[in-house]
């Protein structure tokens, strides 16, 4: 899909469950993108149609922004499905198959984008020729205030979180008194301890994600080490020697406290 001027379109994929109020913000932040081509927001509702159907119908009646459209896909769960990375990986892969654009981005329902997020990723992709380009992000609490603690928030143990933060200080992924997470991937594709890029930071060629999909198999060590679908995908891309570049721009606002860093028993259902 291309705009009349020849700029190809982007599909932004959001998987959501149990949080229609948060999704409203997510929908708005995609509509406000300054990307000059068409943007399709593909919303995949994970086995929660009754709560989301009113919002989907409201969107259908009021979605009038030029070159911006919202497509809803309601997907029931299979027996035994439980919220977490395996289900989320399967849903992301299914959404990639549903998309009809050559470029794919992602946005979790509790995160927000700066208006130039997609356009900056697109320019970097065209300049570099890379099929996988990512931004950086700003870490915020759920009330919107910046996260400034000297702890890596994706580690369960406090001392380990502090150690990981200090480890990531050396390559300047973290800088004191800044909430910018300077995500990076080794340019030469060599696996190292500095391999960070959240799913919502990426712009991919769809063909790449079909060739190297989100891994759908996880084990107890993955749970213990808080390995999410973004970590698994990044490892797969590194192993496949995919060239990856960064815009070095913090255009994602990442809200802490969701599935990957809540670390409490009641955070499984309804939160990613």
pLDDT, tens digit, 9 for 90 and up, residues 49-80: 999 999 999 998 877 778 899 999 999 988 87
Q: What is the DSSP letter of 272?
A: -
pLDDT in tens, the chain (272 residues): 554 444 689 999 999 999 999 999 999 999 999 999 999 999 999 999 999 999 999 998 877 778 899 999 999 988 877 888 889 999 999 999 999 999 999 999 999 999 999 999 999 999 999 999 999 999 999 999 999 999 999 888 999 999 999 999 988 899 999 999 999 885 554 545 457 889 999 999 999 999 999 999 888 888 777 788 888 999 899 889 899 999 999 999 999 986 544 433 334 344 43
What pLDDT sits at residue 188?
A: 54
What pLDDT sits at residue 272?
A: 38
CA pair distance 44, 75, nearest whole angstrom: 7
CA angle 200, 28, 180 (to 5 degrees): 40
What pLDDT sits at residue 46?
A: 95
Contacts of 138 (CB under 8 A, 6+ apart): 146, 179, 180, 181, 250, 252, 253, 254
Phi, psi of 213 (to 5 degrees): -75, 175
What are the residues facing 69 on neighbouring strands?
40
| Alpha carbon separation from 122 to 115, 130, 154, 162, 203 (Å, rounded) | 13, 10, 28, 35, 7
**Cα–Cα nearest to 255, from 100, 29, 56:** 29
What pLDDT sits at residue 7?
A: 62
Contact predicate 167/100, CB 8 Å: no
């Amino acid at each position: 899909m291309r705009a009349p001027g020849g700029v190809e379109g982007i599909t932004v994929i959001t998987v959501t469950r149990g949080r229609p109020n948060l999704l409203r913000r997510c929908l708005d932040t995609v509509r406000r993108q300054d990307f000059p081509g068409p943007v399709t927001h593909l919303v995949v509702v994970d086995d929660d149609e009754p709560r989301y159907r009113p919002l989907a119908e409201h969107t259908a009646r009021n979605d009038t922004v030029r070159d911006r459209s919202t497509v809803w896909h309601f997907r029931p769960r299979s027996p035994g499905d439980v919220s977490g990375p395996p289900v989320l990986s399967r849903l992301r892969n299914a959404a990639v198959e549903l998309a009809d654009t050559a470029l794919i981005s992602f946005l979790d329902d509790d995160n927000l984008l700066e208006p130039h997020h997609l356009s900056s990723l697109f320019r970097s992709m065209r300049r570099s020729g890379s099929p996988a380009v990512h931004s950086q992000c700003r870490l915020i609490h759920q009330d919107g205030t910046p996260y400034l603690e000297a702890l890596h928030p994706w580690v369960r143990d406090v001392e380990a979180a502090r150690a990981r933060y200090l480890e990531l200080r050396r390559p300047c992924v973290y800088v004191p008194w800044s909430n910018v997470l300077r995500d990076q991937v080794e340019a030469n594709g060599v696996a190292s301890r500095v391999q960070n890029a959240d799913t919502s930071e990426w712009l991919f060629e769809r063909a790449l994600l079909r060739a190297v999909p989100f891994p759908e198999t996880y084990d107890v060590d993955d749970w213990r080490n808080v390995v999410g679908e973004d970590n698994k995908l990044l490892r797969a891309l590194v192993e496949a020697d995919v060239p990856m570049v960064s815009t070095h721009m913090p255009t994602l606002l990442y809200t802490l406290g969701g599935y990957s860093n809540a670390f409490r028993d009641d955070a499984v259902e309804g939160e990613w």
